[in-house]
A and B are shown apart, each in its own frame.
Chain A
Amino acid sequence: MFQNQYETVFILTPVLSETQIKEAVEKFKKTLTDSGAEIVHEEHWGLRKLAYTIQHKNTGYYQLVQFKAAPTTVATLETEYKRDERVMRYLTTKLDKYAIDYSERRSKGLIGRKNVESAPKAEASTETQN
């Protein structure tokens, strides 16, 4: 079956407890795997400050998931996002060949050494914090 590589980031409300967050993340990962997606990489950024208020909230839990899936999977995932009140924001993007290369290096923590100009050390430090 034809597959693309996608990357999705979603923001959960800060009112949730640790276990509720884990449960919500598991739920979305399950919707992905149930529709035949293969999860490549995931990152939990934790509670972050938002650049502007969303639903009267200044913070949110960020979660990133990279997966390989058929194009129809994205639609089912996004319907799940829309139905779930815990999700404040989401973004799903298709990764092109440069993005796949970049995200592979990023997941290995190579960003910041290879590309001096891009991906400053600040990003590498946030990755180690989480």
Chain B
Amino acid sequence: MRNNAMSLVNDPVDRKDQARKKYCRFKKAGIKYVDYKDANFLLKFVNEQGKILPRRLSGNSLKFQRKVSVAIKRARHLALMPFVADGLK
């Protein structure tokens, strides 16, 4: 019955691209403080328009996503990072 082609039970789909699990790079590397002065590092967490990437893309834990977003906003205030940009990457 289960091996029948007409079975109503869905076969599990093996998605290769979803195999790698997301992780928080801060937790993994043991980073405790996100520095707003380091614009080059913060550039990893914005898209090419200079917008902050969501957690579902960056994989950050909530704790560090908050810290990253505060750091980016501070860097923007000090003109270390742009508020709006075109083709940042």
Contacts and interface: CB of A to CB of B under 8 A. Distances in A.
A54 B34 CA distance: 25
B74 A93 contact: yes
A34 interface: no
B60 to A, nearest CB: 12
Given A115-B29, A116-B29, A117-B29, A51 B82 contact: yes
A51 B39 CA distance: 10
Contacts, number: 66
Interface string A59-94: 010101000000000000000000000000101010
Bin chain B's interface residue count.
20 to 34
B77 A51 contact: no
B79 A60 contact: yes
Contacts of A120: 38, 40-41
B79 A51 contact: yes
A93 B75 CA distance: 12
A110 interface: no
A2 interface: no
Contacts of B76: 51
A17 interface: no
Interface residues of A, number: 26
Contact of A119 (B30, B36, B38, B84): B38
Nearest to B84: A52
Contact of B82 (A52, A62, A98, A99): A52
Contacts of B77: 89, 91
Interface of B: 25-26, 28-41, 74, 76-85
